[in-house]
Amino acid sequence: PSSRPSLRPSTSGAPSFKPSAVPSLSLAPTRTPTWGPTDSPTKAPSLFPTWEPSQQPTSRPSSLLDSISPGGRFYLRLHWEAGYFWQETFEEGWFCMACAICSEDYFDEHCHIEPHCKEGMTLSLVNCGDEKRLHKYSTELTLATRGNLFADTELEGEQIKVASADLCLDRTGNRGVTLERCDPSRREQRFLGLRPGGQKMEIVPSGKDGRCLSQHHHPRQGERIYVEECYKARKADTNYWSTL
């Protein structure tokens, strides 16, 4: 072509260049996929299930045992709060759970506190107003683990266990509470209402709605702990416990 266009279009016939008679064609698609499907999954499943799960489940949610008290051990204190009027005084009362030998009379206020817990013993209140008395006389507790796979572990509630012995709180009869060998299949050893972090809680024996762990009327040292009707314990402000 010239270096510059003509002043006016050519009046001659058809344009100088014509399109080719047949347009160019792209390659036709293949009749089969480039890669055929594999005969089996990339990773074949295992032929047999494993004999046990990869990680063994915990016996209970970790939050309760781990947060109920540092190390999972605790003392149970009869809960006190401002406004309580025990034994004719508004002063703060400090009473904790301890192993004891008590008479058959539930209202006897002269249980003998024992420093070492043994099977068949009962439980009593002890003055725990200072660190020395707390650690010397109060019973250190924990929650029992559920390691027996053949026992009935579907029962609701927790087992409250003496930290230094295989002894758990056990409801005997209608009102009694004694220390017996821990047995996860015993409903009488299950208690509801346990709460972490020192919160006040009503401890209710499994299957005994309307009854709580308490003692008779206003607390004194040496009073036996037993299963009381909750409405009576609430009247005396002795229905709650908390952990130390």
Q: Residue 140 in contact with residue 75, Cβ under 8 Å?
A: yes
Percentage of the residues of the chain whose pLDDT score is greater than 70:
66
Closest CA relative to residue 167, chosen from 157, 178, 175: 178
Q: Check residue 146 and give its pLDDT.
A: 57
Mean pLDDT along residues 39-64: 49
Model confidence pLDDT, tens digit, residues 66-94: 556 656 899 999 999 999 999 999 999 99
Strand blocks (E) in the chain = 76-78, 95-101, 112-113, 122-127, 141-143, 160-162, 167-172, 176-181, 191-192, 204-205, 211-214, 226-229, 241-243
pLDDT tens-digit profile of 178-232?
999 999 999 999 999 998 878 999 999 998 889 999 988 889 999 999 999 999 9
Confidence label for 161 from pLDDT (cuts 50, 70 and 90): very high
Cβ contacts of residue 140 below 8 Å, gap of 6+? 73, 74, 75, 162, 163, 164
Report which of residues 25 and 94 the model is more confident about: 94
Could you give the CA distance from residue 155 to residue 133 in angstroms, rounded to a whole number?
35
Range among 25-34, 35-44, 84-93 with highest mean pLDDT value: 84-93
| CA pair distance 63, 61, nearest whole angstrom | 5
Give residue 20's pLDDT.
53
- Gyration radius of the chain's alpha carbons: 39
pLDDT band at 170, cuts 50/70/90?
very high
Mean pLDDT over all residues of the chain? 79
C-beta separation of 168 from 190 below 8 A: no
Provide mean pLDDT across the span 145-160: 70
pTM of this structure: 0.70
Query: CB-side exposure of 152: number of CA atoms within 13 Å?
Result: 9
Q: For tokens 């099977």, what's the residue?
A: 119
Residue 142 — pLDDT band, cuts 50, 70, 90?
A: very high
**Residue 56 pLDDT > 50, yes or no?**
no
Residue 52 pLDDT: 47
Render pLDDT for 111-140 as a digit per residue (tens, 0 to 9): 999 999 999 999 999 999 888 888 888 999
Name the pLDDT band for 62 (thresholds 50, 70, 90). Answer: very low
pLDDT at 151 > cutoff 80: no
